[in-house]
Amino acid sequence: MFAASRSRSRWIAGAFLICALTWFAGLEYRGLFTPDEGRYADIAREMLDSNDWVTPRLNGIKYLEKPPLQYWATAGAYAVLGVDEWTARLWPAYTGFLGIALMAFAGFRLAPRSPWLPTALMAAGCWGYFLGGQFLTLDMGLTFFLTVAMLSFVLSRRPDVSPSAERSWMILAWAAVACAALSKGIVGIVIPGLALLVYIAVERDVSLLRRLHWVPGLCVFGAIVLPWFILVQQRNPEFFHFFFIREHFERFLLPNHHRPGPWWYFVPVLLIGLWPWTPSIPAALARAWRAPAQPGFKLDRFLAIWAGVVVVFFSASHSKLPGYVLPAVPAILLLFARHYPYLSERLRRAAAVACAALSKGIVGIVIPGLALLVYIAVERDVSLLRRLHWVPGLCVFGAIVLPWFILVQQRNPEFFHFFFIREHFERFLLPNHHRPGPWWYFVPVLLIGLWPWTPSIPAALARAWRAPAQPGFKLDRFLAIWAGVVVVFFSASHSKLPGYVLPAVPAILLLFARHYPYLSERLRRAPAVACIASGLVLTILAAALPALSALLSWTEFNAEYSIWLLAGGLTLSAAGFAALQLLRRSRQEASLAVVGLGSLLAVQIALSGTHVLDEHYSSERLVEAVAGEKKQFPREPPFYSVASFDQSVPFYLGRPVTLVGYKDELAPGIAAEPGKYVASIEEFLGRWDGHGEAFAIMTPRLYEKLRQQGLPGRVLARDTRRIIVARR
């Protein structure tokens, strides 16, 4: 027995080592893509350079759209480890990997005999979750803290939990919601709040509200959240309207954020994002929903609700991006893992076959708050509110959130209006943030993002929701409500991006993991089959890419990328077939691990290969051609960005550039500091003629036009998208 235990421990350690190496290995291999990666990397760099930790700045201009938690973390990484792509991407990679460990820990505490370690590898191999941890956006940080809040709440509802342990878990949940709010705004409150309300309504367990420990919880929340909001409002009077109205309500409700998408937008996102588990996930989710209810908290029901809330919420938003549904993935995977062992053999093999064929502000408060309120409404358990430990929770929340908000408001009087009104309320309610999308926007996002588990997740969610109610807290119901709140909330918004639903992913994965063992054999095979199918697709695409690029003039897709796609496809196929063989030998946990690791490795291979496309999506090589590998560019001479703005340029130059005739999302910051902006090309030409030494970056077409008009200077470097010109 001890030998078997040591052997299993070595297997687990080896699997996690491979997972960690694969997870972090490719962070520096690619240039920072524009706009998101360049934007968030440069904001943190400028924060470190200026030593102003209150008011975020992009290219030297105030940027109050998002709270500062991730900027602080990245700037800290810069200070300790240096400024480069690896440290720029470290925060989303670290929080994503930590979320995997957290799901394994929570799963073990909830059901020690369940296959929770393979569940962690399910998350690692889930395409959408992995990609969320590899790109520099705010979605993975938000997802991590919402997952902490979700799991802390779930662990506080265990039947055998002591009053002191319940209080500790609830205070941690409040602190996590505060950190979610400091990561991306109001959505960090809305998602958990909606999920809780839906769960209460479904389970008719209003008593749940009495167990939220409101007083300590709100104290913790306020202590974390309020200081920064107050400071930033004092320093930026426009912050409130911009942040809350424009960046939250208008982005959600109005289609003017230029990120549109249909109501089913996240369906393909989840289908691909949950790959290679997609084929088995529907059955696992269905099984979780149909499972007989047990007394107490309905874990499966809660996980399903959590995931559903995330997807529906962001599907309702007018601004959609694939990463928005990421918070639903952990709940889906947890549900899948719980029910995977009970799926049919055919469904258990599906992930293996799939591998072989293709493999943010107030929102951080809104999401958990909505999830909790929805749970309370569904379960009719208002008593849950009394057990939230409000006082210590709000104290922790305030201690985390308030300092920065207070400081940034003091230094930027416009902050309150810009951050709360413009970046929250207006972004949610008005269509002027140019991120529109139909109500179903997040449906494809989730379908793709939960791959390869997507085929099995619906059955697991359904089983969790249909499970007989047990006395007490309904864990499955709450997880389902949490995910649903996230999806519905962002679906209702007028501003949509795929990453918005990322906070739904942990709840979905938790539900999936809980009910996966109970799915039919066919559904348990589905992730393996999904791996084989997707591996084949990638292999075919790799073979056809050179011809397609020539036929369709896809200059962005170099033929060199084919070899990376081929390697990824073959890896998926091999993992899928290996998983099927393990299933035939009744080695279910090993099969799940192979699908997860194989999918993780395949996607990392395909992602690492994108370095051959850098010149189309990043300015790294262009700047390196001028400044050398160390990218040390003098700060004194003027450097203009004419009629366009590649947000990775300031990061690689190590200095801001002066924008000419381009405002876009920097318009509020330019209005506050107009001296850092040149309004027209004519004004730029006048300045250019008067400079001795100066530089400019522009498109090749614009350069040819200005050169014909007599623009003096010489070309220092160029690629297919940009030209850098020196005055002399």
Q: For residue range 164-175, what is the model confidence (pLDDT) as tens digits? A: 999 999 999 999
**CA 456 → CA 169, 285, 299, 489, 534, distances in Å?**
31, 7, 18, 24, 15
Question: Are the C-beta atoms of residues 233 and 239 closer than 8 Å to each other?
Answer: yes
Lowest pLDDT segment from 234-243, 375-384, 633-642 = 375-384
The rounded Cα 537 to chain-centroid distance in angstroms is 26
Predicted confidence band at 5 (pLDDT cuts at 50, 70, 90)?
low
- Enumerate residues 6+ apart whose C-beta is below 8 A from 696: 639, 640, 641, 642, 660, 684, 688, 713, 724, 725
Higher pLDDT, 394 or 569: 569
So what's the pLDDT on residue 352?
A: 45
Question: Any alpha helices (H) in 111-160, and if so which ranges?
Answer: 116-125, 127-134, 139-156
Q: Cis omega (within 30 of 0) on the bond before 35?
A: yes
So what's the pLDDT on residue 358?
A: 31
Question: pLDDT tens, 497-521?
Answer: 888 888 888 888 888 888 888 888 8
β pairing state of 723-726 and 658-660: unpaired
Tokens of 280: 């088995």
How many Cβ atoms are within 10 Å of 10's Cβ, its own excluded? Answer: 10
So what's the pLDDT on residue 550?
A: 66
DSSP code of 556?
A: T
CA separation for the pair 469, 402 (Å, rounded): 40
Question: pLDDT tens, 327-351?
Answer: 898 888 888 877 877 776 555 545 4
The stretch 150-154 carries a mean pLDDT of 91
So what's the pLDDT on residue 626?
A: 86
β pairing state of 677-678 and 695-698: unpaired
- The amino acid at residue 703 is Y
CA separation for the pair 544, 15 (Å, rounded): 34
Phi/psi for 159 (5° steps) reads -60, -35
- Enumerate residues 6+ apart whose C-beta is below 8 A from 513: 103, 107, 114, 115, 116, 119, 122, 333, 334, 335, 336, 337, 338, 339, 340
So what's the pLDDT on residue 144?
A: 95
Helical (H) or strand (E) element with 178: helix 163-184
So what's the pLDDT on residue 168?
A: 93
Lowest pLDDT segment from 232-246, 345-359, 526-540, 677-691 = 345-359
The stretch 50-70 carries a mean pLDDT of 91
**CA 239 → CA 68, 269, 600, 617, distances in Å?**
13, 33, 40, 31
Question: Are the C-beta atoms of residues 259 and 435 closer than 8 Å to each other?
Answer: yes
Question: Are the C-beta atoms of residues 326 and 145 closer than 8 Å to each other?
Answer: no
DSSP code of 553?
A: T
So what's the pLDDT on residue 567?
A: 93
CA separation for the pair 286, 332 (Å, rounded): 11
So what's the pLDDT on residue 181?
A: 93
**CA 396 → CA 171, 220, 448, distances in Å?**
7, 2, 36
CA separation for the pair 335, 460 (Å, rounded): 6
Predicted confidence band at 446 (pLDDT cuts at 50, 70, 90)?
very high
CA separation for the pair 117, 582 (Å, rounded): 17
Q: What is the mean pLDDT of the chain?
A: 84
So what's the pLDDT on residue 2?
A: 36
Tokens of 707: 């050169």
Torsion sign across C-alpha atoms 474, 476, 479, 482: negative
So what's the pLDDT on residue 4?
A: 46
pLDDT at residue 559 above 70? no
